[in-house]
Amino acid sequence: MVIAITFLIIIVLVLLNVPIGISIAIASFIYLVTEGISFTVVPQQMFEIVDSFPFLAFPMFMLVGSLMNAGGTSRRIFDFAESFVGHLRGGLAHVNVVASLIFSGMSGSAISDAGGLGAIEIEAMTERGYDNDFAVAITAASSTIGPIVPPSVPVIIYAMAFDASIGRLFLGGFLPGFLMAIALMIMVFLYARRRNYYRSPFPPLKKILVNFYRSLLALLTPVILLGGMFSGVFTPTEAAVVAVLWALFLGFLVYKELGLNHLPRIFLEVLVRTGVVLFLLATVGIFTWILTRENIPELLLGFITSANITPAVFLLIANIILLLMGMVTTVTPSIILLSPIFLPIINKLGIDPVHFGIVVILNLMIGNLTPPVGPVLFVVSTIGKVPFQRAFKHTLPFIVPLLVVLVLITYVPRIVLFIPDLFMK
């Protein structure tokens, strides 16, 4: 009974727009007081969950995205993508998707993609006559590719929460990320054909070579990171530090668009976002202990076993829960909050944690495009100066191809596992 009230308190507080970390902390406090449990358990559980070496990569990859945006990398990637797909009908919308795919190999964050590259994409599209609503919609949808393609910030959180291999998760995101890009570009083609968007001429070879040369070092970022990780030169956590040093090198010495005056703002922004996640992790540590004490994971596991629920049916149920979860909160708290519930179930049903991880993250990213929270859509609509509800209305059609990819990777695990199995055993 007490645990049911605890869940209810969290739900009510979240619906009242109380930050989820604070909601969990309040509900956990009430549970401990009601059950007469000593508060000595609190610091122990808070420290235990945040004491994780892989988590060090989280603030570093967040920092990379901010440094890349401020250092001129985003513009060069956009120009490079335009050289190759800008001549297609609806060219800049295709560029939007391809640029997001490339940039995702550096920032690994949908917010970084939307906030940095998204501003460039929306401005370029509206200047060339594209509807502002359409520009905002495709920018929001393409930003969801970032957390899927490595390196990925949500993947690091998932790997820590589900005790999964970061390396295999990174590799597992490649094919789903490319499928997302292809699916969105098909939708763009249909839109462009119906609206008869302008089709620019194929650029001269000189322009292609110039844009390639200007963006070459930026394009080498994912090659350096992934090459170093999978050759054993450095771990995924150490790769995050290498990425920061590379971003500083490009911004200060190569492109010379990053100044010392930019650093305090960037560091403060990353510090605040990291602090929020650390607080959330700490509060979830207490809540996870409460769930374990109440045997919630065991009860759910017993129900799954007694009801003879198959992996396919469980994945359908999990997709629905995750999509709904993504609508009301951001990716990180959702992953951490659901991990103690889902982890024993996927182990029991024999679902590969790498496969499940990509399914989880894509679900939550799609949910993050929808009200009432929709953080990615909120950022993009603010940049594009489009009301949130109108931005959602125009983004809704682009959610359809993302859902198609979600169904494919959910029920065809080889799409996720093919590359990890090829390179890592």
Highest mean pLDDT among 147-151, 294-298, 304-308, 312-316: 312-316
- Write down the H helix ranges in 144-262: 153-162, 166-172, 174-195, 205-230, 236-249
Smallest Cα–Cα separation from 61: which of 358, 332, 363, 340? 332
At 389 the pLDDT is 80
Separation CA 66–CA 140 (nearest Å): 18
Q: Which residues are CB-neighbours of 361 under 8 A, at least 6 positions away? A: 147, 148, 152, 154, 155, 158, 331, 335
Separation CA 274–CA 240 (nearest Å): 14
At 183 the pLDDT is 95
Separation CA 158–CA 374 (nearest Å): 20
92-129 pLDDT tens trace: 888 888 888 887 655 555 565 555 667 777 877 887 77
Residue 307: pLDDT band by 50, 70, 90 thresholds? Answer: confident
Separation CA 293–CA 270 (nearest Å): 35
At 416 the pLDDT is 95
At 105 the pLDDT is 56
Q: Which residues are CB-neighbours of 163 under 8 A, at least 6 positions away? A: 343, 353
Cβ atoms < 10 Å from Cβ of 312: 10
Which of helix, strand or coil describes residue 264?
A: helix
Over range 129-150, report the average pLDDT.
86
**pLDDT above 70 for 265:** yes
- Rg (the chain; Cα; Å): 22
Over range 43-57, report the average pLDDT.
70
Q: Which residues are CB-neighbours of 285 under 8 A, at least 6 positions away? A: 45, 46, 47, 48, 49, 50
Q: What is the pTM of this model?
A: 0.81
172-199 pLDDT tens trace: 999 999 999 999 999 998 888 888 777 7
315-327 pLDDT tens trace: 999 999 888 888 7
Q: Which residues are CB-neighbours of 27 under 8 A, at least 6 positions away? A: 6, 7, 9, 10, 13, 287
352-386 pLDDT tens trace: 999 999 999 999 989 888 876 677 777 788 777 88
Smallest Cα–Cα separation from 257: which of 15, 16, 47, 74? 74
DSSP structural state of residue 204? P
Mean pLDDT of the chain: 82
Tokens of 1: 């009974």
Percent of the chain whose predicted confidence (pLDDT) is above 70: 92
Contact 366, 154 (CB under 8 A): no
Over range 61-70, report the average pLDDT.
77
Contact 76, 200 (CB under 8 A): no
Q: Look at 109-123, 218-232, 387-401 and tell me which has the smallest mean pLDDT.
A: 109-123
Residue 50: pLDDT band by 50, 70, 90 thresholds? Answer: low
Cβ-count burial of 239 within 10 angstroms (0-12 exposed, 13-18 middle, 19+ buried)? buried
**pLDDT above 80 for 158:** yes
At 355 the pLDDT is 96
Separation CA 226–CA 208 (nearest Å): 26
At 46 the pLDDT is 73
Q: Look at 27-41, 49-63, 138-152, 299-313 and tell me which has the smallest mean pLDDT.
A: 49-63
Q: Which residue has the tokens 């490079």?
A: 80
Contact 162, 343 (CB under 8 A): yes
Separation CA 180–CA 163 (nearest Å): 26
Percent of the chain whose predicted confidence (pLDDT) is above 90: 15
- What are the phi and psi torsion angles at 197 (to 5°)? -70, 155
Cβ atoms < 10 Å from Cβ of 140: 31
At 293 the pLDDT is 79
At 35 the pLDDT is 82
Separation CA 127–CA 198 (nearest Å): 13
CA torsion through residues 265, 267, 272, 276, sign = positive
Over range 23-27, report the average pLDDT.
85
**pLDDT above 90 for 62:** no
**pLDDT above 70 for 49:** no
- Write down the H helix ranges in 16-131: 20-35, 41-50, 57-70, 73-85, 91-107, 110-112, 118-127
- What are the phi and psi torsion angles at 92 (to 5°)? -70, -25
**pLDDT above 60 for 208:** yes
Give the length of the chain: 425
